[in-house]
């Protein structure tokens, strides 16, 4: 008997082939006597399908596992929505890279059968949160699984800010912004900006300057439990933004203070039993795959 009796399904809504994959997934689950629970917007795209549904942020109340059909972006959005539930999440890749979505939509039965027999790996991925204060009053907040990014928004101007770690002054920087990435996000925007790849099990963050005016400003790896404070300098002529996983933007203002910390809890991520992070890197990043002793 499966360890999971009710499985929530979240999916991108912009591609017909994704709906086809969702239908195949529902058929598979029902054959296993597992009840699918569709996210409300997905259910609205499938009229006539008689299964339970629930709003995205309440999905965890109705299931003991969640599957995300889409790419890494879909997975990130789902993670932020259900992170307050202690339930595992599994990704079915209908995107491009698929660092977070392991299961092929073309081999659902072969890849899902072992997982529902209890043969899988589970790991915890931590998240980070940002809180913005304006004149000592809260003005915005957000969470991220991949990264929090301070950037100029729609302006082409550089921004100037002060960086503090654990209340110690680190630097004053003029640049296009700063990426604060988790190990999960180290293979995303931070990697494109020249940051290092962090193994998912590391309890660390990487801070990556974006096109700094001073070329000696380099990425820094710090303890994940450190307290980061960014002060947007009063001299800035634009209102920068703080982006959460590239999907949610919070507007900051000159003089604002941005506090970034590790979020309590996190995401329980399920992988197939043979999952290998280095193999994922070889596959997704085009590393040399031949072994020559």
Active-site residue list? 72
Residue 52 marked as a ligand binder:
no
Residue 192 marked as a ligand binder:
yes
Residue 176 marked as a ligand binder:
yes
CB contact at 8 A, 22 and 13: no
Residue 72 marked as a ligand binder:
yes
Helix (H, G, I), strand (E, B) or coil at 120: strand
Residue 289 marked as a ligand binder:
no
Count of positions (residues) in the chain:
293
Helix (H) or strand (E) holding 277: helix 277-285
What's the Cα-to-Cα distance from 205 to each of 94, 132, 148, 165, 176, rounded to whole Å? 28, 19, 11, 12, 19
Residue 188 marked as a ligand binder:
yes
CB contact at 8 A, 66 and 8: yes
Helix (H) or strand (E) holding 281: helix 277-285
Residue 259 marked as a ligand binder:
no
Residue 5 marked as a ligand binder:
no
Q: How far apart are the first and last CA of the chain?
A: 44
Residue 79 marked as a ligand binder:
no
Please give the Cα distance from 128 to 261 (Å, whole number): 6
DSSP code of residue 242: E
Residue 274 marked as a ligand binder:
no
Residue 145 marked as a ligand binder:
no
Binding residues for NAD(+): 72-73, 146-147, 157, 174, 176, 187-192, 247
Binding residues: 72-73, 146-147, 157, 174, 176, 187-192, 247
């Amino acid at each position: 008997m499966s360890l999971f009796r009710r499985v929530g399904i979240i999916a991108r809504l912009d591609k017909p082939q994704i709906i086809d994959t969702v239908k195949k997934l529902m058929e598979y689950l029902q054959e296993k006597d597992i009840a699918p629970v569709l996210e409300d917007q997905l259910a609205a795209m499938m009229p006539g399908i008689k299964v339970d549904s629930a709003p995205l942020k309440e999905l965890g109340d109705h299931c003991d596992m969640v599957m995300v059909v889409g790419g890494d972006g879909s997975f990130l959005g789902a993670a932020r929505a259900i992170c307050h539930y202690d339930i595992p999440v599994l990704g079915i890749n209908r995107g491009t890279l698929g660092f977070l979505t392991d299961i092929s939509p073309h081999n659902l039965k072969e890849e899902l059968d072992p997982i529902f027999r209890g043969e899988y790996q589970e790991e915890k991925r931590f998240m980070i949160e940002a809180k913005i204060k304006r004149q000592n009053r809260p003005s915005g907040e957000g969470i991220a699984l991949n990264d929090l990014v301070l950037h100029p928004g729609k302006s082409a101007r550089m921004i100037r800010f002060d960086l503090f770690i654990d209340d110690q002054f680190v630097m004053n920087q003029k640049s296009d912004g700063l990426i604060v990435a988790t190990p999960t996000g180290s293979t995303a925007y931070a990697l494109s900006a020249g940051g290092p790849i962090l193994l998912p099990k590391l309890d660390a963050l990487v801070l990556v300057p974006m096109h700094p005016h001073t070329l000696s400003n380099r990425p820094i790896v710090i303890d994940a439990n450190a307290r980061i404070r960014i002060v947007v300098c009063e001299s800035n002529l634009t209102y920068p933004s703080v982006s959460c996983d590239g999907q949610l933007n919070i507007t900051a203002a000159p003089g604002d203070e941005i506090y970034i910390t590790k979020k309590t809890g996190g995401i329980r991520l399920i992988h197939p039993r043979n999952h290998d992070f280095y193999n994922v890197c070889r596959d997704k990043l085009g590393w040399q795959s031949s072994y020559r002793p």
